[in-house]
Structure 1
Amino acid sequence: MKIVIFAPHPDDEIYGCGGSILKWMDEDHDLHIIYVTDNRALITWGKKENQLIEEKAAPYIDLSEDEIGKIGLEEAMEVAKNFKFPKNNIHLFKFHDQDAINQIDKGKELAKKILIDTDRIVLPSNNNNHPDHQATHEIAKFAAKEMALDNVEFYVYAIYNVLKLPMERQIKVKMVDYRDQLYELMKGYKTQLCLKDSYMGWQTFKRRRIERFGVFKLEDCNLFYNF
């Protein structure tokens, strides 16, 4: 099975579906990952929102956004490699953090090349209050619509909002066997772990038991809150 995972930022693949990625890797599926943005605004946002952990942010605090973005993508490549994604299955759109909403058409065209012969698309939820997550949802869904991927299944994960859908539309993936590995993988995102919320979320990994997804087909577009 070919599975394509859309991550709005480096580390969203871990928080949204990391245990499932490890499980699918063990099942020997053909996994691809798309990192839509570069995390360049991370330190700027952290300063503004009082989210920085000073001692962890110290090596990055005086760097430009271009430099932070470069580091963010380097971290993503290394983490993806540690997930065991083949190099050719790691895709960087390199859109600027906080600007994906202005890159939907370009992202859609880039995504189409990757989605050929795909069986499952894993994407962030619709109705998302984070603009990069909302843009990523639209990039994936609009590309699939234009390609008429009627038989593809969509696994929707929620980070910045919640899954609001009937139980029969949900699937739970057990990740107890993978949470320690996921905890170690997250260490590769040193820039992300400068943020208080990211650091606190990381500490919960060893208690996680499941990951939940909404499961849809293309015909379900706009019939559900999350899709």
Structure 2
Amino acid sequence: MNRPRRILVLAPHTDDAELGAGASIAKWIEEGSDVHVCVFSTAEDSLPKGSRPTRLAEECHASLDVLGIRDDRRTVFRYPVRKLSYHRQDVLENMVQLEHEIAPEWVVIPSGSDLHQDHATIHDEALRAFKHRTVLGYELPWNHITFCASAFVTLERRNLDRKWEALTRYTSQLELGRPYFTKEFHESLAGVRGLQVKSDWAEAFELIRVVF
């Protein structure tokens, strides 16, 4: 596929874009694509005790700064965590507006096999809003029983390093000791995915729809 001019990455929560596609985002920007990120929940209920409510939103902006996402290429909504399905119509209308404003060639969303209720909502509504676009699903292994790795973005070490640098801006999640918030985990996963396509490193995606 030709490199797209505009890519939209949809994240149910503040760290999902970076966790699932952070190194690819860094590569796409480096290669000249116009990358937009939309976050639907700042997950205020998932903060360490005593944290200010805005902490994850602030960390998200710091992380997107590292990846190179321009201020006018990011949208952060504040839907309540684990309750996106209660706001399904509003979420869909947000996506339809993004479709009109951005007209992305690629849309990158949670995989269809992601079991998290918020991720499933974003996946399902994105298929409605962007049914005429190329759609890729990103991998978050801790939420999957199965995952169809049918598309790969090969990476350079600097892309992987940029991803981890972005993730380190989420100090709240590092404090909570999330097992998927380690450099070793992301390097190991990227190494496995790279091995599958004869590359040192890669991120894998579910190929949901292709429009040439």
Using structure 2 for the length normalisation, give the TM-score. 0.81
From 112, 117, 121, the equivalent of 1:126 is 112
From 9, 18, 26, the equivalent of 1:22 is 26
1:138 maps to 2:124 = yes
From 144, 162, 165, the equivalent of 1:161 is 144
From 200, 203, 208, the equivalent of 1:216 is 208
1:140 and 1:162 map into 2 onto residues whose CA distance is: 21
1:139 and 1:80 map into 2 onto residues whose CA distance is: 24
Q: CA RMSD in A?
A: 2.1
**Deviation at residue 83 of structure 1 after TM alignment:** 1.2
Unaligned runs of 5+ in 2: 191-200
**Deviation at residue 201 of structure 1 after TM alignment:** 3.8
Corresponding residue for residue 88 of structure 1: 72
From 95, 105, 108, the equivalent of 2:89 is 105
Residues 111 and 215 of structure 1, relative CA distance in 2, 3 Å threshold: same
**Deviation at residue 174 of structure 1 after TM alignment:** 1.6
Residues 7 and 126 of structure 1, relative CA distance in 2, 3 Å threshold: same
In terms of Rg, which structure is larger? 1
**Deviation at residue 162 of structure 1 after TM alignment:** 5.3
**Deviation at residue 158 of structure 1 after TM alignment:** 2.3
Asked whether the equivalents of residues 113 and 146 of structure 2 are also in contact (C-alpha less than 8 Å), the reply is no
Which secondary structure state, in structure 2, belongs to the residue aligned with residue 156 of structure 1? strand
**Deviation at residue 114 of structure 1 after TM alignment:** 1.3
Using structure 1 for the length normalisation, give the TM-score. 0.76
Unaligned runs of 5+ in 1: 44-59, 220-227
1:130 and 1:10 map into 2 onto residues whose CA distance is: 14
**Deviation at residue 121 of structure 1 after TM alignment:** 0.4
Residue identity over aligned pairs, in percent, reads 21
1:8 maps to 2:12 = yes
Map 1:162-181 onto structure 2 (within 5 A). Answer: 164-165=147-148, 170-177=150-157, 178-181=159-162
Query: Cα deviations across residues 184-225 of structure 1 (Å, max 9, x unaligned)?
Result: 111111111123234654432344321111223289xxxxxx
Residues 103 and 201 of structure 1, relative CA distance in 2, 3 Å threshold: farther
- 171-180 or 17-26: bigger deviation: 171-180
Structure 1 stretches of at least 4 aligned residues deviating more than 6 Å after TM superposition: none
1:15 and 1:198 map into 2 onto residues whose CA distance is: 12
**Deviation at residue 2 of structure 1 after TM alignment:** 0.9
Aligned residues: 191
Which secondary structure state, in structure 2, belongs to the residue aligned with residue 122 of structure 1? strand
Corresponding residue for residue 72 of structure 1: 56
**Deviation at residue 111 of structure 1 after TM alignment:** 1.2
Which secondary structure state, in structure 1, belongs to the residue aligned with residue 115 of structure 2? coil
